[in-house]
């Protein structure tokens, strides 16, 4: 119910460029440009200034964007309360998440919702955590399952979101089958410190997890290779190119010549998996139900592990 042009402005405040805003919102750059111009006209405010070859928010623009956070939250909250009060049915629901989460948590959620709410059209978008937040701002999705990250752009207590912890997913090490430690059940990071490591590209979510794990024990690992998909990681390890970290949730699915070991010792790196929604919307019955389903699934995974560990 908040004017779409204001949403566009908020997305622009995140992206900084018209082009990126267009990509994120699904409009063309011309449309974004025209929308923002129109917004300035109806409000009688100058929100943008030319800045080099791009445009930049004015002080007024930044003020408006910052001030609109509580407005959005209040609307979400009102909408949620009305849905709750009226026992109404929602007809569209956008979910976002990264690959493993999408597979392990979002897919079952979507399936369950499809059966409990036949009228609901569920849409799942695979996207990395940062983009998930962007998509939440752009109102392209309503709920995201992501790896918690303390990036410089989105904090845990960002006024635009509310986050709920789903589960802590520990990282295992994967090593080649012919590695000296391959017959072990567990290993410490220190034991593997001098190995050639395979990691994700700098800037990705996993890279920061990776470096955090090693700075915790005061070691700078030697990075031999970079891979994007877990499947590639595993293949690299299987080819004997080095060792790597693999989240417990990511399946090893019959890989040749790769062994997975639990990490013990002081540094036990984990990734925290959280659900994020726009602030205010958490009271919505659909969100509540979804969070419940996610939590149940997360607990199922956790208890399966406990049995596994016995």
Contact set with a second copy (CB under 8 A): 1-3, 5-6, 43-46, 58-60, 63-64, 67-68, 70-71, 74-75, 78-79, 81-83, 85-86, 88-92
Residue 202 contact among a second copy, DNA, none, beta carbon within 5 to 8 Å by kind: none
Find the shortest distance in angstroms from Cβ 8 to a second copy.
12
Which residue lies nearer to DNA by CB, 24 or 250? 24
Interacting partner of 90 out of a second copy, DNA, none (Cβ under 5 to 8 A depending on kind): a second copy
Report what 85 binds from a second copy, DNA, none; CB cut-off 5-8 Å by kind. a second copy
Q: Which is nearer to DNA, 4 or 81 (CB)?
A: 4
Which of the 8 DSSP states describes residue 282? G
Return d(Cα 186, Cα 173) in angstroms, integer.
Answer: 9
Sites for DNA among residues 138-177 (CB under 7 A): none
| Positions in 176-235 near DNA (CB under 7 A) | none
Question: In angstroms, rounded to a whole number, what is the distance separating the alpha carbons of residues 241 and 229?
Answer: 16
Q: Residue 67: name its binding partner from a second copy, DNA, none (Cβ under 5 to 8 Å by kind).
A: a second copy
Using CB under 7 A as the binding rule, the residues of this chain from 12 to 31 that contact DNA are: 16-20, 26-31
Quick one: which H or E segment has residue 6?
Answer: helix 4-15
- Nearer to DNA by Cβ, of 40 and 297: the residue is 40
Q: Tell me how far, at minimum, the Cβ of 144 lies from a second copy, in Å.
A: 21
Under a CB-based contact definition with an 8 Å cutoff, are residues 167 and 301 in contact? yes
Q: Angle at which helices 59-86 and 285-309 pack, to 10 degrees?
A: 90
| Binding-site string for DNA from residue 50 to residue 89, where x marks contact by CB under 7 A and - marks none | x-xxxx----------------------------------
Residue 306 binding: pick among DNA, a second copy, none (C-beta 5-8 Å cut-off by kind): none
Q: Which does 79 bind (CB under 5 to 8 A by kind): DNA, a second copy, none?
A: a second copy
Choosing among a second copy, DNA, none, which partner's interface includes residue 94 (Cβ < 5 to 8 Å by kind)?
none
Q: Does 92 bind DNA (CB under 7 A)?
A: no
Rounded to a whole number of angstroms, the minimum distance from the CB of residue 15 to DNA is 8
Catalogue the long-range contacts made by 57-60 (C-beta closer than 8 Å, 24 or more residues apart).
Answer: 57/12, 57/13
What are the tokens at 175? Answer: 């090593």
92 in Cβ contact with 108 (< 8 Å): no
Say how far apart CA 141 and CA 86 lie, in whole Å.
Answer: 23
Residue 289: closest CA among 127, 104, 80, 135: 80
Q: How far is the CB of 81 from a second copy (least distance, A)?
A: 6
The 3-state secondary structure of 48-87 reads EEEECCEEEECHHHHHHHHHHHHHHHHHHHHHHHHHHHHC
Residue 251 near residue 174, CB atoms below 8 Å: no
Calpha distance 166→151 (Å, rounded): 19
Please pick, from the candidates 10, 13, 24, 35, the single residue that binds DNA as defined by CB under 7 A: 35
The DSSP H or E segment spanning 186 is strand 186-188
Point out which residues pair with 255 in neighbouring strands.
Answer: none
Binding site for DNA (CB under 7 A): 4, 16-20, 26-31, 33-38, 48, 50, 52-55
């Amino acid at each position: 119910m908040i004017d779409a042009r204001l949403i566009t402005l908020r997305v622009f405040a995140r992206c900084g460029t018209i082009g990126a805003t267009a990509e994120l919102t699904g409009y063309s750059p011309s449309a974004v440009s025209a929308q923002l111009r129109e917004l300035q006209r109806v409000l009688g405010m100058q929100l943008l200034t030319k800045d080099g070859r791009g445009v930049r928010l004015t002080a007024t623009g930044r003020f408006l964007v910052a001030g609109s956070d509580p407005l959005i939250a209040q609307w979400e909250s009102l909408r949620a309360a009305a849905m709750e009060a009226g026992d109404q049915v929602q007809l569209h629901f956008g979910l976002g998440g990264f690959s493993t989460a999408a597979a392990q948590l979002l897919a079952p959620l979507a399936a369950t919702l499809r059966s409990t709410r036949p009228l609901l059209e569920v849409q799942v978008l695979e996207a990395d955590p940062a983009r998930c937040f962007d998509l939440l701002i752009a109102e392209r999705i309503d709920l995201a399952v992501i790896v918690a990250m303390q990036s410089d752009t989105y904090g845990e207590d960002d006024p635009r979101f509310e986050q709920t912890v789903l589960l802590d997913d520990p990282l295992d090490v994967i090593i080649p089958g012919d590695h000296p430690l391959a017959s072990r059940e567990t290993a410490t990071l220190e034991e593997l410190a001098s190995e050639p490591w395979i990691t994700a590209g700098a800037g990705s979510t996993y890279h920061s997890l990776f470096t955090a794990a090693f700075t915790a024990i005061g070691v700078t690992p030697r990075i031999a290779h970079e891979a994007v998909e877990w499947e590639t990681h595993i293949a690299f390890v299987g080819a004997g190119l080095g060792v790597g970290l693999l989240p417990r949730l990511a399946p090893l699915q019959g890989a040749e010549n790769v062994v997975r070991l639990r990490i013990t010792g002081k540094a036990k790196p984990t990734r925290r998996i959280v659900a994020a929604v726009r602030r205010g919307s958490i009271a919505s019955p659909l969100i509540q139900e979804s969070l419940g389903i996610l939590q149940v699934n997360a607990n199922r995974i956790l208890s399966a592990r406990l049995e596994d560990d016995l």
